[in-house]
Amino acid sequence: MNIILLGPPGAGKGTQARILVDGRDMIQLSTGDMLREAKDSGSEMGRIVADVMARGDLVTDEIVIGLIREKLAGDKRGGFIFDGFPRTLKQADALAQLLDETGETLDAVIEMQVDDAALVARITARSTCGNCGEVYNDETKPIPADGVCTSCGTSAEFKRRADDNADSLKQRLMEYYKKTSPLIGYYYAKGQLSSVDGLADIDDVRAEIAAILG
């Protein structure tokens, strides 16, 4: 089964993707994570995308489509969760073609509906485990007092993203509405769209998604 998690920054895509990875042996393909890895590795691509990401703009379709193409050629396990991809109509068309070429199907597109007002609070309170990537939130899912990650059991360094600030978020939201939100209509028209209430508690969102995937 291959699915897309669609929603603005802070909607909870990464959080739910990790739950699906644990529960269904699926593979999380987060283009944001891949781009941050490229940036941290100091590769040429990393240098190209660093400023773009810091500003909150989208990187080029060619770069992210290339990243996804590579991953689709690898291990499939329980299927792919596309997290933060596609973000433009061009990326959506490219994904359809790539899946076609590899004989794969797109089984669900899950739109995570949230209020814009909730996103600033969520994003500025976000941190992740530097060891396993578990997503935390100062308000709703705090790092345990002993500093040990509940997911990997390591006393890790917890990282905050450089672009998780109010200015960059404003630009990321603008990009979302201009370039990504048309995908909601696109997948609706294809009969592939389901929506969940992303403002519900993490476990309730998990249950809603589970009901859709069956």
Return the active site residues.
13, 87, 126, 161, 172
| CB-based contact 164:126 (threshold 8 Å) | yes
Helix locations, the chain, DSSP H: 13-24, 31-41, 44-55, 61-72, 89-101, 116-124, 166-175, 182-189, 202-213
Per CB under 6 A, 126 contacts ligand ADP: yes
From the list 52-60, 94-102, 151-159, 174-182, the region that binds Zn ion by CB under 5 A is: 151-159
State yes or no: residue 28 binds ligand ADP (CB under 6 A): no
Candidates 1, 98, 99, 151: give the one binding Zn ion (CB under 5 A): 151
Residues 97/88, Cβ–Cβ less than 8 Å: no
Binding site partner of 106, from ligand ADP, Zn ion, none, Cβ cut-off 5-8 A by kind:
none
Q: Which residues pair with 143 in a beta bridge?
A: none
Residues 141-170 close enough to bind ligand ADP by CB under 6 A: 141
Least distance (Å) between residue 37 CB and Zn ion: 16
Binding positions for ligand ADP, 63-82, rule CB under 6 A: 64
Find, among 108, 78, 82, the residue nearest to 95 by Cα: 82
Closer by beta carbon to Zn ion, 82 or else 136: 136
Three-class SS of residue 192? Answer: coil
By CB under 5 A, tell whether 158 contacts Zn ion: no
Q: Specify whether the backbone of 134 is left (phi greater than 0), alpha (psi in -120 to 50) or beta.
A: beta
Centre a 10 Å sphere on the Cβ of residue 67 and count the other Cβ atoms it contains. Answer: 18
Q: Identify the CA nearest to 28 among candidates 39, 38, 40, 13.
A: 13
Footprint of Zn ion on residues 26-45 (CB under 5 A)? Answer: none
- Binding residues (CB under 5 A) for Zn ion: these are 129, 131-132, 134, 149, 151-152
- Which residues are at the interface with ligand ADP (CB under 6 A)? 7, 9-15, 31-32, 35, 52-53, 56-59, 64, 84-85, 87, 91, 122, 125-126, 135-137, 140-141, 172, 200-202, 205
